[in-house]
C-alpha cells in the first residue's frame, strides 16, 4: 500500500513537472486559417498568425491585483483543449436570427487560483482571465499589450479623457506616430495591417469592471482604464464631478470571469460587417421570457424641435399635447411602433414623476394605446440613478421604454449602473436605449431589453456628421453592436452648401444615402428624426423607410471597403432590403450588384431609390424606380459623392 502511494505521488509529481516544462501552446481556428501561439516565460505571451503571416508578435496579458500579478512568472498546473459548435438564437436578432458559434479553445490553469481561456474562431480570437479567489479582490490594473511587426494604419476615436460620450470623429494614424503622450482611444479600434488583413479590437461580457481604452506605444498598443471614483460633487442637472478616485480600477468578486478581449480578423471587409463576435462571447440571456421586448422604429421630436407646420396643423406646435398627438397620428398612419418624448416632457429634468402640464402625459398614453403607438420617455442618467423605483411607476403608467442620457463614463461604477438599470427595467418590462453611452459590450444580450446605444457621432451633430466619417461605422462602431444614429433627414445637402439649425434640421449626404442608412445601420430602435410634415411631403421615401425592419433573419455584405463604401443586403422573412452608402472622396462610384443570394426560382419586384443626375450638387435629387429581379441577375448602381442607393425586394 505504501509502495502504491509512493508510486501515485511520484506520478503526480511527474505529471506536474511535465506541465511545468511545457512552455508553448498553439490554438488553430476550425478552418485552419488563424493561429494563436502562446509562450509561458516571465509573462504570458502570445502571437497571432493568419495564413502563416505574423500580424501581432509577443503581446502579453496580465491582471495586477493588490497583492500579486496574475500572469507574472506563470506556473502551469494543467491545460485543456476542445472544440465547440453551437447555435445561438438572440432574442433581438440584429444581424441574424440564428448564429453559428464554432471555435477551438485552450484553457490554461495556473498556480495562484487563476486561469486564462483562449478561443480561436474562423474570423478571430479572444481571451479572458478567470479567477477563483476568496472574498473580494482589488484590480490595480490589467495588462493588454500587443506589438506590431510592421507599421499599421489605425482608425481611432480619441476623446480628451475618460469622460466621453464616444461621439468623437475618427482619426486615422499610423501606429509609429501614435505616441504614449497622445490622446488615448475608445474601443472598438480598427487596424489595417498593410498585409491585406484588418483587425477589429473590442470587448464582450463587460460586467462589474471598467471599459477598456487603448494607448499607443513605440511598438504597438497597451490598455488603460479609468479608476474607481470614490467621491462625487455636483455638476448640473445631468452629471457629477469626480472628486476622488481609488488607486485601483475595480473592486470585485474574487471568483469570476473577466471580460473577453477580442480581435475580429479578416482580409475581406465584408466580414467585419457580418461579424457577430460580441454576441458569440456574451453571456446568455438572464430573461426567461423576452417575448414582451418589441424593437421597432420611433418618431422623434427633438431633432426637428417639435415643429410640424402646414395646412393640417391648426395648433401652436411645440412641446405640448396637440403636437404630441400629431406625432402619434403620424406614427399610427405609417405603422411606426413608438414616439419618443425627449427633454421637455417633464416639468423638470430632475423630477421624473411630474409631467409638464402642457403635455398631459396621461392623455397621451391613453391616446397612444388607442392608436397602437407606444411612448418612450427621455431621462438623464442622474435622475434615474436617484429614482430607480421609476421603472415600476412608468410600467403602471403604460410607458413602453426609456431613453437614458449623458452617462459619459465607463468606469466600474458606471458600468454597474448600466447593468442595475437594465435589470430593474426588465423587472417592469421596459426597454432601454442608452445615449451618451459607451459601445455595446455584451450587456444587450444578457438583458435583451437593452435594444440600442448611442456612442456615435450621429445626426444630432449636424454639420459634424459627415458621410466621410459615418461610412466607417459598419466596419467599426456598428460592427460591435446596435447604434442609435438617428437617421431620416428629408433636407439633404452637399457639405459645401450645408446650413442647418433646428427646427430646419438637415443632413450631409444625398436623399438616397439617408434611405440606405435604415438598411445599412443596425439598431433595435431606429429613429425617424425629421418632421412629420416633411415625411408627409415625401411620401414615397416615408413609405420605404417605414417598411424597413429593425431586426433581421440574415445579413449579407455585398461589397465593402472600410471608409469608402458599404453595400449590405438584409432579409426579414421572404423580403430583402439593400442599402448602399459611400463617402465624399469620389465624384461618382459605379458598382455591380449580383443577386445570387436570392431564392432560386422566385421573381422579385424591386423598388429602388438612386441618386438623381444632379445629386452631386443638389443632394435632394433622387429617382425611384421598379424592376423585376431573380437569382443570378446583376445590375450596376451609381452613387454620387456622399451618395447612396436603397432597395426593397418582395
Active site residues: 405, 460
Per DSSP (E only), the strands in 394-486 are: 401-405, 431-434, 450-453
CA dist 123 and 121 (Å) reads: 5
Count how many Cα atoms sit within 13 Å of the Cα of residue 390 in the half-sphere of its side chain. 24
CA dist 240 and 296 (Å) reads: 32
Q: DSSP assignment, residue 513? A: H
In DSSP terms, 588 is beta-bridged to: 640
CA dist 446 and 466 (Å) reads: 33
CA dist 450 and 514 (Å) reads: 25
Q: What are the cell numbers at 585?
A: 472622396
Strands 76-88 and 170-174: unpaired
Residue 506 zone, left/alpha/beta (φ > 0; ψ -120 to 50; rest): beta
Residue pair 25/38 in contact (Cβ under 8 Å)? The answer is yes
CA dist 475 and 634 (Å) reads: 25
CA dist 58 and 148 (Å) reads: 9
Distances (CA, A) of 444 to 284, 349, 399: 10, 26, 20
CA dist 212 and 221 (Å) reads: 12
Look at residues 38, 44, 41, 43 and name the one whose alpha carbon lies nearest to residue 26. 38
Per DSSP, the three-state class of 58 is strand
Amino acid at each position: 500500500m505504501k509502495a502504491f502511494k509512493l508510486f501515485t505521488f511520484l506520478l503526480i509529481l511527474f505529471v506536474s513537472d511535465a506541465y511545468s516544462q511545457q512552455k508553448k501552446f498553439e490554438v488553430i481556428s476550425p478552418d485552419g486559417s488563424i493561429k494563436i501561439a502562446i509562450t509561458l516565460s516571465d509573462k504570458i505571451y502570445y502571437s497571432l498568425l493568419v495564413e502563416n503571416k505574423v500580424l501581432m508578435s509577443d503581446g502579453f496579458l496580465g491582471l495586477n491585483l493588490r497583492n500579486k500579478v496574475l500572469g507574472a512568472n506563470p506556473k502551469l498546473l494543467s491545460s485543456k483543449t476542445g472544440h465547440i459548435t453551437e447555435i445561438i438564437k438572440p432574442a433581438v436578432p440584429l444581424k441574424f436570427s440564428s448564429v453559428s458559434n464554432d471555435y477551438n479553445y485552450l484553457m490554461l490553469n495556473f498556480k495562484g487560483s487563476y486561469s486564462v481561456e483562449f478561443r480561436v474562431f474562423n474570423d478571430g480570437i479572444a481571451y479572458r482571465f478567470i479567477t477563483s479567489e476568496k472574498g473580494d479582490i482589488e484590480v490595480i490594473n490589467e495588462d493588454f499589450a500587443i506589438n506590431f511587426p510592421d507599421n499599421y494604419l489605425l482608425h481611432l476615436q480619441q476623446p480628451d479623457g475618460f469622460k466621453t460620450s464616444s461621439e468623437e470623429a475618427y482619426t486615422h494614424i499610423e501606429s509609429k506616430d501614435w505616441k504614449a503622450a497622445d490622446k488615448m482611444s475608445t474601443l472598438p479600434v480598427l487596424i489595417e495591417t498593410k498585409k491585406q488583413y484588418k483587425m477589429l479590437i473590442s470587448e464582450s461580457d463587460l460586467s462589474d469592471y471598467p471599459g477598456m481604452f487603448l494607448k499607443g506605444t513605440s511598438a504597438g498598443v497597451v490598455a488603460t482604464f479609468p479608476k474607481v471614483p470614490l467621491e462625487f460633487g455636483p455638476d448640473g442637472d445631468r452629471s457629477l464631478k469626480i472628486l476622488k478616485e481609488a488607486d485601483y480600477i475595480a473592486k470585485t468578486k474574487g471568483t469570476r470571469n473577466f471580460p473577453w478581449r477580442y480581435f475580429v480578423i479578416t482580409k475581406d471587409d465584408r466580414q467585419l460587417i457580418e461579424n457577430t463576435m460580441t454576441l458569440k462571447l456574451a453571456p446568455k440571456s438572464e430573461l426567461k421570457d423576452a417575448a414582451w421586448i418589441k424593437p421597432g422604429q420611433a418618431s422623434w421630436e427633438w431633432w426637428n424641435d417639435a415643429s410640424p407646420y402646414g395646412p393640417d396643423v391648426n395648433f401652436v406646435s411645440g412641446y405640448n399635447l396637440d403636437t404630441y398627438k400629431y406625432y402619434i397620428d403620424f406614427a399610427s398612419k405609417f405603422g411606426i411602433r413608438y414616439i419618443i418624448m425627449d427633454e421637455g416632457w417633464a416639468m423638470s429634468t430632475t423630477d421624473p414623476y411630474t409631467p409638464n402640464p402642457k403635455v398631459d402625459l396621461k392623455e397621451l398614453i391613453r391616446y397612444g394605446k388607442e392608436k397602437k403607438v407606444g411612448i418612450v420617455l427621455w431621462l438623464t442618467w442622474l435622475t434615474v440613478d436617484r429614482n430607480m423605483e421609476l421603472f415600476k411607476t412608468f410600467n403602471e403608467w403604460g410607458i413602453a421604454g426609456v431613453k437614458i442620457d449623458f452617462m459619459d463614463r465607463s468606469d466600474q461604477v458606471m458600468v454597474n449602473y448600466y447593468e442595475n438599470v437594465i435589470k430593474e427595467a426588465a423587472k417592469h418590462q421596459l426597454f432601454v436605449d442608452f445615449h451618451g453611452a459607451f459601445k455595446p459590450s455584451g450587456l444587450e444580450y444578457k438583458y435583451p431589453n437593452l435594444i440600442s446605444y448611442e456612442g456615435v457621432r450621429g445626426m444630432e451633430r449636424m454639420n459634424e456628421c459627415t458621410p466621410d466619417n459615418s461610412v466607417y461605422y459598419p466596419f467599426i462602431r456598428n460592427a460591435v453592436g446596435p447604434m442609435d444614429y438617428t437617421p431620416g433627414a428629408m433636407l439633404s445637402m452637399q457639405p459645401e452648401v450645408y446650413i442647418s439649425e433646428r427646427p430646419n434640421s438637415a443632413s450631409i449626404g444625398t436623399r438616397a444615402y439617408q434611405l440606405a442608412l435604415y438598411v445599412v445601420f443596425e439598431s433595435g430602435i431606429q429613429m425617424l428624426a425629421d418632421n412629420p410634415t416633411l415625411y408627409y411631403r415625401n411620401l414615397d421615401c416615408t413609405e420605404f423607410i417605414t417598411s424597413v425592419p429593425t431586426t433581421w433573419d440574415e445579413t449579407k455584405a455585398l461589397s465593402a471597403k472600410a471608409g469608402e463604401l458599404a453595400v449590405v443586403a438584409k432579409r426579414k422573412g421572404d423580403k430583402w432590403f439593400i442599402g448602399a452608402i459611400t463617402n465624399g472622396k469620389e465624384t461618382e462610384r459605379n458598382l455591380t450588384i449580383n443577386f445570387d443570394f436570392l431564392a432560386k426560382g422566385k421573381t422579385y419586384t424591386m423598388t429602388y431609390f438612386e441618386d438623381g443626375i444632379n445629386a452631386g450638387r443638389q443632394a435632394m435629387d433622387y429617382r425611384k424606380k421598379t424592376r423585376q429581379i431573380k437569382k443570378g441577375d446583376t445590375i450596376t448602381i451609381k452613387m454620387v459623392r456622399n451618395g447612396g442607393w436603397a432597395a426593397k425586394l418582395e
